[in-house]
Amino acid sequence: MKRVKRILALLGALLLFALYAATLIFALIGSARSMDFLKAAIACTILVPVLLYAYMLFYRLSHSSQMEDTDSSGSEND
């Protein structure tokens, strides 16, 4: 599991780096279409980490409540 987390973290870092590079490239290109791509790259640069953080937080909270439920039900039987 630890290896999978490291690989996913590396992929996330590479994705963010690619988004930052795309933002820089689209900012330097002067065409009208590149402005749309620039806006999309900036939005993804902000939204992707926020959504990933929200997903991790939700996952952690939902699994901790399940663990508390199993711990409390196990202590009632003792």
Handedness of CA 69, 70, 75, 78 (dihedral sign): positive
Quickly state the pLDDT bin for 67 (edges 50, 70, 90): low
What is the pLDDT, as a whole number, of residue 26?
Answer: 79
Alpha-carbon distance 49 to 39, whole Å?
A: 16
Instruction: With beta carbons less than 8 A apart as the criterion, state whether 49 and 19 touch.
Output: no
User: Global pTM?
Assistant: 0.59
